[in-house]
Amino acid sequence: MFSILPSLKSIRLLLIIVFVNGCLSLPAVAESANQILEKKVTVSFKEISLKSGIDKIAKAAEVSIIYSNSKELINSRVSLHAVNKQLKEVLNDLLLPFPLSYKVIDDKIIISHDAQKRKRIAEQQPVIIKGKVTDSIGMVLPGATLKIVGESKVYITDKNGEFVLSNVPLNARLQVSFIGFITQEVLLADTTAYLTVVLKQDNSKLNEVKVVSTGYQTLPKERATGSFVLIDSALLNRRVGSNILERLDGVTSGLIFNQRNLDGNNNSTITIRGRSTIFANPNPLIVVDNFPYDGDINSINPNDIASISILKDASAASIWGVRAGNGVIVITTKKGKKGSDPVISLNANLTIGEKPNLNYPYQMSSADNIYVEKFLFDQGYYDNTISNGYSAISPAVALMDKLRNSQISQTDYDGQINTLKQSDVRNDLRKYFYRKSANQQYSLSVSGGAAHQKYFISAGFDKNLGNLVSDSYKRYTINANNTLNLLNDKLELFTSISFTRSNTGSNANTYRAYTAYDQLADKNGNPLPVVDNINQTLRASYVDTAGNGKLLDWRYFPLNENKGNRNTGLTNYRFLAGITYKLIDQLKIQVNYQYQQDQNDDNRVYNQDSFYARDLINRFSAIDPSTGTLSRIIPLGAITDRNDATASTQYGRVQLSYEKTIKNIHAVSAIAGFEVKDYQYDLNSQRYYGYDPSTASNANGSINPLAYYNIYYDPYGAQTIPTAPSQLGNTDRYRSYYANASYTYNSRYIFTASARKDETNIFGVKANQKGVPLWSAGLAWNLSNEGFYHSDALPYLKIRATYGYNGNADKTTSAYLTANAFYYNIWNTLYANIINPPNPSLGWEKIENINLGIDFSTKGNWLSGSFEYYRKRGMDLIGNSPIAPQTGVTTFKGNSADTKTNGIDIVANLIILSKPGFKWKLNLLYNYALDRITNYSAQQGVNGDIVFSNYSNPLVGYPYYAIFAFKSAGLDATGNPRGYLAGAISTDYAGIYNSQNADELVYKGPATPRSFGSVRNNISFRQWDLSVNVVYKLGYYFRKNGVFSGSNYGYNQGEFDQRWQKTGDELHTTIPSLIYPNDSYRDVFYLGSEDVIDKGDHIRLQDIRLSYQLNKKSHPYLPFRSLQIYSYINNVGILWRANKDGLDPDAGTQLLPSTRTISFGLNATF
């Protein structure tokens, strides 16, 4: 099929013959030539010889191509990619840079030298090409990569998405790429036109965002060395809810939500890459529109958020200095778009939640509850309580006392006891106290812009009804921002204002069932009185006759109290203003200011009809035995508690920014600035007696807060009336200097550096002790941009490494002696409580951070992702240390502790299947984090303290959230639990508890997951989208409730029926026997033993989202631009759990599990 001719002479002879033949049969040849050149060809090759390229085209087109063995054919390297193109187009593209042309003679294509074309090419000089890179809707893409095909030199677009290419050969091919978009090749044929390259988004790239925000600057992800997680608007809006941070759960690498209440006083709901502190602030820093957000995160409307960046390592977060030790969450709100017509967006949804499962966890039955009460009654446990005549006793115990005193027959007793055994308080709770939750959310926004302006305005309304009938929530939000460019875009003015008002309704009178058989209503729904230890009710037989009718009704009816008497109102104002002036093209100065104020008014109103008011008024009442006159110390009327708190924050910042690209090889970006912060907090608390809301008057003047009064039913129990007001204040002032710079060489090597110094008023007596310098450095290598890198398997490969220091602060400590002042004591004198002694050398906590990362993408992007290893080392952490007792304190709180955390973060995005109209994508997250204490000076105390109070006094070598337990040797033949003391099996529970040999304890593991992550499936079929997210948490433990003998056993001890009851039971149960009198050390040993520890490992189907999309492009008749209708199910259920008790590890045995919810909503744009 192919002929390689040896000489030009043979070519000339052949051409003469062809020419003569062609003149005789021109029409037929012309028809044949058209048919040949219009053949459809699909062919692809890269960096091969021109000769080989021609051969491949000939084979694909099934045509004979004749050419000579010239140096152009042998030496020139070419690349081509054509899909279903005409043959003539393919040949034109291939031969364009060469002095060659072709003709069709008979059924063959003859390629020959073209002298005129050679002359034209020789006369042409390299040209300058100018242009910009945008996405399909016109948004510029800063940091896009440009490369001339066949050359190693790489260009990048500037912050405006623009580029200038120098010394570019005419008709060269330009390759343009950007993360998340399809790479495109453009022919540079016109030297005069301004070139606009439009890239199409690559849906095979999951969750890619164009640029990341650090809160001080935005930068392309390709030019970042640090560890970022980028959550765009689509992924944020995948979940439904009022809280913006909850939308990060299960979709964010390195971040975990701590759903369960962990032991200790210093816990965080959100943790990024493990814990790096002991007593200091454990929460990540929240940044909104470039400034720290010190208010309630619930004040932010999620519908106003454009994207969120999670800063995880030192390079990403160190620009925030001492507040970045726990990671940074940078929230960017939506803005308008220049030159855009107004766009109206509407989002509305309704979420319905199931009633809580009150059978979780398994509870003691009413029959078992009464069995325990009968056992204790027979042992005389209640005798002292019964003898005083007024203390509350349960209905069953009251019946037992009546039977003992012959006040009731055995038959009546048995009948009433059996009735109680058939009662279940949970039935009344379900009926009267709980309901299905219903949450409504509405949001409306308008955005747009002109040539030199852009704006965004939104309003939102949320109305939530909680599972408890007394719980409600309303929120109103308004947000507006405007950007104006003046002086030929040299001056930019930015303003933003937001307002939020929320009201939370709840019940301050918590009802908690005293027995499993409490009855809250009769068969007709009429309220019934009950006894309640929490509200300190009195015995029914006592209150029925107390005061001979002169006192207020002293009975407690939970149904009458089941209404919201507590209202918490929160008002949030936030104002931002910024001025940016471009001094020169590369240098600009920015001045920014933010003012934020949160006003929190917490009001609890106990009306005179409430049990709390009636009980308190009666307690401080007296009846003269001789005259029968009633006197009340507390006047009739409502009792109102008011807590008014105001927090205001001011930030000011001046910043210089420099950015320049030199010869499209060197890219320099730098910022430097100074900022100040002033934070003021004031709290005023007051109680008002005899409060009249119509006149706002009270009767506090008639009450002496220092006097002691006898209690009505206990003349020996004198007390003061709780009236003392409280005032608290706090001031924090910060001053900071910072700088950040990055240098990129030829889009291959990236160097970053950051430094910051923070100073505050709470640390250090000397000026040089008030601040701490923190810094970071990073290096990245875009290996795939190297000229020597040719990998079809991994066309994108980037290696990163960072090192640096972040910081943290403990605001409960100070360099100075601090104390709380209190009101008068029993001697009518003021007194104060020392919070901490002076510590002139107190300093900041520092966290050393090392991060190594690899970003990759395979051919066709069927697999892309990242792998990161990190190590964090907390230094100079606040901890307790022993100190000489003659100082007046026993422990010293200062910079004396250290921690270490190791972990990995893995992200993998897979394309399972991609066909026209159908796509199946998979997102995998795997995270591992394990922290441990490496230095802590305080003495550990006894083993019992380690088991139950480890978080206040952590052990070296173990995680902060470590679960320790007493070693268990099972039960003995009498049902007593056994442990180990001095290496031997023992029932000396006091000795086991007070032992100081920590080797006698068992370390079960951490209370927080070591490994966690998610598997998210995303399936698209035409206009339908289905997303299913499965989350997992592995390698952790939790302590469940155990059976104990004190406090009437407690009806929530569901394992009571599995206790030891007879000899031999010790072979199949570890739950101790019922004993009397109670041995408190025995109970504590069992509750702290390894027998009540469960594994927390589980896999959960977290949520499912199904949506249907319509748009005007595909349906021109629609009155809107786009419409999305969606449904969302959250907390679908646990697929697998390691524990055999059917417990939800996120709830443990102290909380009710989160209920399943289903949402329906729509999102429309006009």
CB atoms within 10 A of CB 1003: 17
CATH second-level architecture of 4-121? 3-Layer(bab) Sandwich (3.55)
Which of 2.60.40.1230, 2.130.10.10, 2.60.40.1120, 1.20.120.10 would CATH assign to domain 127-198? Answer: 2.60.40.1120
Question: Can you read off the two tokens belonging to residue 786?
Answer: 């190297």
In the prediction, which pLDDT does 829 show? 66
Helix (H) or strand (E) holding 710: strand 709-711
pLDDT in tens, 247-295: 999 999 999 998 776 655 667 889 999 998 998 889 999 999 999 999 8
The pairing of beta strand 1098-1111 with beta strand 1093-1095: unpaired
Is residue 1154 within 8 A of residue 269, CB to CB? The reply is no
User: CA torsion angle for 851, 857, 858, 862 (degrees, to 10)?
Assistant: 120
CA–CA dist 305, 345 (Å, integer): 13
Residues 6+ away with beta carbon under 8 Å from 89:
82
Helix (H) or strand (E) holding 612: helix 611-619
Is residue 807 within 8 A of residue 799, CB to CB? The reply is no
In the prediction, which pLDDT does 206 show? 39
Angle at 120 between CA 114 and CA 125, to 5 degrees: 140
In the prediction, which pLDDT does 556 show? 94
Is residue 838 within 8 A of residue 815, CB to CB? The reply is yes
In the prediction, which pLDDT does 1098 show? 97
DSSP bridge partners of 808: 845
Residues 6+ away with beta carbon under 8 Å from 1058:
1069, 1071
Nearest to 1093 by CA among 1037, 1150, 1010, 1035: 1037
Q: Please, is 316 exposed, middle or buried when counting C-beta atoms within 10 Å of its C-beta (0-12, 13-18, 19+)? A: buried
User: How many contiguous H segments (helices) and E segments (strands) does the chain have?
Assistant: 19, 56
Is residue 798 within 8 A of residue 855, CB to CB? The reply is yes
In the prediction, which pLDDT does 153 show? 74
In the prediction, which pLDDT does 764 show? 53
Domain range annotation of the chain? 4-121, 127-198, 366-435+510-547
CA–CA dist 560, 469 (Å, integer): 12
Which of the residues in the chain have pLDDT under 50? 1-31, 204-209, 1048-1049
96-120 in b/e form (b: 16+ CB < 10 A) is bbbbbbbebbbebbbbbbbeeeeee
Length of the chain: 1166
In the prediction, which pLDDT does 301 show? 96
